[in-house]
Structure 1
């Protein structure tokens, strides 16, 4: 099969990316946030685009929107709100803006240092947002003065008295998020602090009288957060909800304001598996009701969307299911119905009468597009709306591979076949393992997309091993406590099943992975020599060092145990103990600002490869985090990985990527 250099990865990087939808209260306007390259092509910037709800007109830029506008939402009267750094801000940071139908922008709220998230009440003019206050600041003015004084004296230091100190790729503190509420012409009310890691998770009751937000876990209870329900006029707390060992996410009030709906998650521990459900909290009685006691698809549901009709307890949500992420409907009697036959759905919006849904739909063979769904029809195919981001024909086809685990569990994976693959010219195979480990190959990947590799002539296997989401609680049970055990064996079983096909070449294979997938690449490096090349992007290597360095150290220590007293899992699953067995050429990719899997993990792996004399390359991005964000850096990841695989799997001459 010809393997001429492909530029598909360049098209992929340049592709506009729809990231969210907002539907006007009367259902007549549908606005999408879309990320595109800036004029220099060096970063992604967001703009707001009108999508025709009927699907007849092409999308058009919202009148008055400019680069940097994001996070659209509508007020009760149909005014479009969004976050943006547009205009002079002192100190700099995102402000909350409103955009009239004729394109005139008005700044609604500006908090020194910026606003991170906001929400609008569905039946009143109340707006709430999340912004930070420094210790000692009682309002935005004193916060601004403290910011100015720190800046004037060149102080960036933070005094931590407890963990966490980092989260989601950012240093925490010294300021802490607070929920602010604006009702009419009154000054904004500080409804309370949310803790260092609690920014943005909040909701307003439909009438705007009550605000709910989550407060971050503390050092005393690192696996438990708190839902606070407060008076929106005074900030006085009315009730709090918490459950030991659980965390709540994505709060939203029902249309009549009598219940607060949330995702409730029990994270994995040494002795228990992940468990996720949706719950209804009663702000008056304090009662908590599990809405999905018998639902066994995940973990990991998407944000719940309640019916907009007061008194109707119907709700919609998404959740992984066997390589898809369908939309589900829960009826008032508890019946759950899957509404979509295929694909992965996000950003659900419901029409005012509850009869239709809008969403972004993607799949492994389809970039995100806006769609319309019937709100009650089972296993339907959506109506596609005209959306930015179409890539045209893909360089291959998508099918499935099935296998059986060593415990008899039914396994499955996606398989991308390049154009021309067949028994007369079998394709080399790249096994691409997802991160997580709770996750699934179901939607259009933003990084490690399989199609650039298919364009170069590789088949790409996308396995969902043990601990993947969408296969029921049993998938969590069978992988608990053995990161490098059953998940690794599942990947190998699916690889063997794929290579039984006559159109794949078992003598030319490679394995790559990001995050947990990168860890499994390191695991493979010490367990087998069947692959000609391996790629580890932000992978774990030394589990004992990792659990003390990661921003989620308390969480991972719960899984692995305290290494001083419970060493079994470290010694069984940490690849670095078997570094002497390294023989396979390896490409390592890592960002210097990665706090989830610190770059020291890849540095240690690189040192061990060099010590063993194994051919290795280390693609290092000093200013990237756990994922690669800058478009030119994404290009380099694809180009470097493709050239590395061509060299070691196909025997081609190594080609140094440009600018490296």
Structure 2
């Protein structure tokens, strides 16, 4: 080669290398992820593509410590990408206790509608893209909880509650009102309001507690699901009905036990899709997707290997349905941490995954021409962004970046792992390791047990709460791993990922095989040279809190533990919880199975505890009443054990106020760093 050419090439390479080095030197190194960062993360809480497919609306929730609330803001962005525009600043998007905007579009794509606060009541507001002033579309005395535009754009259907009777109003005024146990709640009604100023009309009877509905494509009918009562287990008594908008009596379409709710008309008006437990009435029954002719007839269930279908939308040709689900065909083995959008054929039940990779997807909606599908997706170590997919090519484009700060943070590595339990069953979990960690260095390990028991974890920055405002997570796992901890998120039997049969493996057996599954995972990480056996911690809330309490009564291997919203005396959960029926599904009633209730209650074995325990509970927790936490705390104190008990004012089963959320995270971070050294 010509020496002159060689000289020029060498000079160019040196220049390029030195320029690249200068750029790298100028770029700041990633910073550790802190507790403050946890509280700065924004979350997309709703996404909806316009009917014409040109734009996507989304609502972004941001925790405000100054206002002690999660503030919501509406944005609209071109479906091909671009700079999002904020709309409707004057509307206070419904955020009590967290944002629930119920985003919808007018059929002509000119207006976004959502639920905002008018005084202290949620109402539907219309926010024009033109920039004209938002206006309230409803004035329901008890507020609006869901709404849908009629396909012809002439009317709005919405859900509201009946108000109090004149007699109750009088009694409340003169202070003679008495709360009676099991008195029926006011009915949840389906109402239609034309947009020409005509007064709204209630369509459904007081005996129907409506929880979902859908317009027929010709705007003449509404299909809806309803139970004969309200309450925790009411969804297991839902039936499907349809009713003419102009007048008429509800017609029963699906009449069987179990969950049958969320009906959606197919675009051609021939079918109704809905979710169902296939006649089963217990909490472990899978929530399948089903279809039935809109005029009624046999129900066809699309089981898909026990998939728990969460959200879905019809393909525009009415031949298939897009959906996202836990468990099932696309959620087993190493994929149980995914929640991808898939497509199922109505004709033969064949399903295919349409969003690849490690992804957790929510809120799918499709344009009228069927060419574009929008959704929220959390990938790897993110909180989620808006994506738009070309349905023909299946090519998806990310069109938002709502947490750009993450690009400048050193984040842990999250990956699926598996191990064999005591009986040879393969158990899975996620392992989060500190940024920059290399094999060969033992790590302090925190075991974070999910709620449920039928819950699970997914990819994302908040693996148990990617579907929600994520700061409800009491454990700041990313800040913990930045401090040097590894975190194991086990998925023991009894939870998601193993089908309905897997969920039933712990009936009458909490704390048995599920406990052994978790401990086998800890042993696996010790054998792999990852976990330091002298620096182990355990934590969890709800069922995870129960399991944390159970673990510290069974072993002294953990140096610290934190239990949130936790069960300690299982009979309390039946007698005092709003969801007492939940315990019947697992253990029967206490007087029918007394010995088992006692044998599986951590309180029974409280004298065995040697691990320092932090107990955290919301004072208004109706799901797991605080009485059990008090029992465990007082027993441990009387026994001279190391225990602390934090009660969160106004708190429920989870905490919604940012100041309390931050304090709970801070407290857990402080607790584990106090007892477990991070070298």
| Equivalent residue, structure 2, for 1:329 | 343
Task: Please give the secondary structure, in 2, of the residue aligned with 1:14.
Answer: coil
C-alpha displacement at 1:230, in angstroms?
1.8
| Equivalent residue, structure 2, for 1:71 | 102
Question: Which of residues 305, 311, 317 in structure 2 aligns to 1:296?
Answer: 305
Describe the shift of the 1:449–1:35 C-alpha distance in structure 2 as closer, same or farther (beyond 3 A): same
Structure 1 unaligned blocks of 5 or more: 137-144, 164-172, 653-660
| Equivalent residue, structure 2, for 1:633 | 660
| Equivalent residue, structure 2, for 1:167 | none
| Equivalent residue, structure 2, for 1:339 | 354
Task: Please give the secondary structure, in 1, of the residue aligned with 2:641.
Answer: coil
C-alpha displacement at 1:265, in angstroms?
2.2
| Equivalent residue, structure 1, for 2:591 | 564
1-structure distance, mates of 2:45, 2:230: 34
Task: Please give the secondary structure, in 2, of the residue aligned with 1:432.
Answer: strand
Describe the shift of the 1:276–1:94 C-alpha distance in structure 2 as closer, same or farther (beyond 3 A): closer
| Equivalent residue, structure 2, for 1:243 | 256
C-alpha displacement at 1:531, in angstroms?
0.6
| Equivalent residue, structure 2, for 1:127 | 156
1:319 aligns with 2:325: yes
1-structure distance, mates of 2:214, 2:271: 12
Query: Are the counterparts in 2 of residues 162 and 219 from structure 1 also a CA contact under 8 Å?
Result: no
| Equivalent residue, structure 2, for 1:355 | 371
Query: Are the counterparts in 2 of residues 418 and 454 from structure 1 also a CA contact under 8 Å?
Result: yes
- Higher normalized helix content (fraction of residues): 2
1:384 aligns with 2:398: yes
| Equivalent residue, structure 2, for 1:142 | none
C-alpha displacement at 1:402, in angstroms?
1.0
| Equivalent residue, structure 2, for 1:551 | 578
2-structure distance, mates of 1:598, 1:627: 12
TM-score by length of 2: 0.84
Matches of residues 590-601 of structure 1 in structure 2 within 5 Å?
A: 590-601=617-628
C-alpha displacement at 1:459, in angstroms?
0.5
2-structure distance, mates of 1:116, 1:156: 26
C-alpha displacement at 1:242, in angstroms?
3.1
1:306 aligns with 2:314: yes
C-alpha displacement at 1:253, in angstroms?
1.3
Query: Are the counterparts in 2 of residues 129 and 180 from structure 1 also a CA contact under 8 Å?
Result: yes
Matches of residues 255-274 of structure 1 in structure 2 within 5 Å?
A: 255-265=267-277, 273-274=284-285
1:206 aligns with 2:220: no
Matches of residues 165-176 of structure 1 in structure 2 within 5 Å?
A: 173=185, 175-176=186-187
1:116 aligns with 2:145: yes
| Equivalent residue, structure 2, for 1:573 | 600
1:464 aligns with 2:491: yes
1-structure distance, mates of 2:517, 2:593: 26
Describe the shift of the 1:39–1:52 C-alpha distance in structure 2 as closer, same or farther (beyond 3 A): farther
Larger Rg over CA atoms: 2
TM-score by length of 1: 0.87
Deviation digits for residues 31-89 of structure 1, max 9, x if unmatched? Answer: 1011113482411121211133112x232312555442532211212221111114xx4
C-alpha displacement at 1:22, in angstroms?
1.3
RMSD in angstroms over aligned alpha carbons? 2.7
2-structure distance, mates of 1:208, 1:454: 53
| Equivalent residue, structure 1, for 2:646 | 619
C-alpha displacement at 1:395, in angstroms?
2.7
Query: Are the counterparts in 1 of residues 259 and 281 from structure 2 also a CA contact under 8 Å?
Result: no
Describe the shift of the 1:435–1:391 C-alpha distance in structure 2 as closer, same or farther (beyond 3 A): farther
2-structure distance, mates of 1:488, 1:256: 50
Task: Please give the secondary structure, in 2, of the residue aligned with 1:564.
Answer: helix
C-alpha displacement at 1:381, in angstroms?
7.5
| Equivalent residue, structure 2, for 1:410 | 426
1:98 aligns with 2:126: yes
| Equivalent residue, structure 2, for 1:228 | 241
1-structure distance, mates of 2:380, 2:556: 29
Query: Are the counterparts in 1 of residues 240 and 253 from structure 2 also a CA contact under 8 Å?
Result: yes
Describe the shift of the 1:421–1:618 C-alpha distance in structure 2 as closer, same or farther (beyond 3 A): same
C-alpha displacement at 1:613, in angstroms?
1.4
| Equivalent residue, structure 2, for 1:20 | 46
C-alpha displacement at 1:386, in angstroms?
1.6
C-alpha displacement at 1:110, in angstroms?
1.0
2-structure distance, mates of 1:6, 1:613: 38
C-alpha displacement at 1:639, in angstroms?
0.9
Describe the shift of the 1:129–1:340 C-alpha distance in structure 2 as closer, same or farther (beyond 3 A): same
Structure 2 unaligned blocks of 5 or more: 1-30, 95-100, 463-469
Question: Which of residues 529, 533, 537 in structure 2 aligns to 1:502?
Answer: 529
1-structure distance, mates of 2:494, 2:41: 31
2-structure distance, mates of 1:177, 1:9: 41
1:80 aligns with 2:112: yes
| Equivalent residue, structure 1, for 2:435 | 419
C-alpha displacement at 1:538, in angstroms?
0.6
C-alpha displacement at 1:235, in angstroms?
5.4
2-structure distance, mates of 1:282, 1:421: 56
Query: Are the counterparts in 2 of residues 116 and 199 from structure 1 also a CA contact under 8 Å?
Result: no
C-alpha displacement at 1:476, in angstroms?
2.0
2-structure distance, mates of 1:147, 1:71: 31
Task: Please give the secondary structure, in 1, of the residue aligned with 2:617.
Answer: strand
1-structure distance, mates of 2:453, 2:392: 32
| Equivalent residue, structure 1, for 2:7 | none
Query: Are the counterparts in 2 of residues 227 and 240 from structure 1 also a CA contact under 8 Å?
Result: yes
Query: Are the counterparts in 1 of residues 288 and 306 from structure 2 also a CA contact under 8 Å?
Result: no
2-structure distance, mates of 1:283, 1:131: 25
2-structure distance, mates of 1:227, 1:511: 44
C-alpha displacement at 1:228, in angstroms?
2.6
Query: Are the counterparts in 2 of residues 215 and 225 from structure 1 also a CA contact under 8 Å?
Result: yes
Query: Are the counterparts in 1 of residues 76 and 84 from structure 2 also a CA contact under 8 Å?
Result: yes
| Equivalent residue, structure 2, for 1:191 | 203
C-alpha displacement at 1:112, in angstroms?
1.0
2-structure distance, mates of 1:126, 1:267: 34
2-structure distance, mates of 1:470, 1:75: 38
Task: Please give the secondary structure, in 2, of the residue aligned with 1:576.
Answer: helix
Deviation digits for residues 159-192 of structure 1, max 9, x if unmatched? Answer: 44457xxxxxxxxx3x321111123534322122
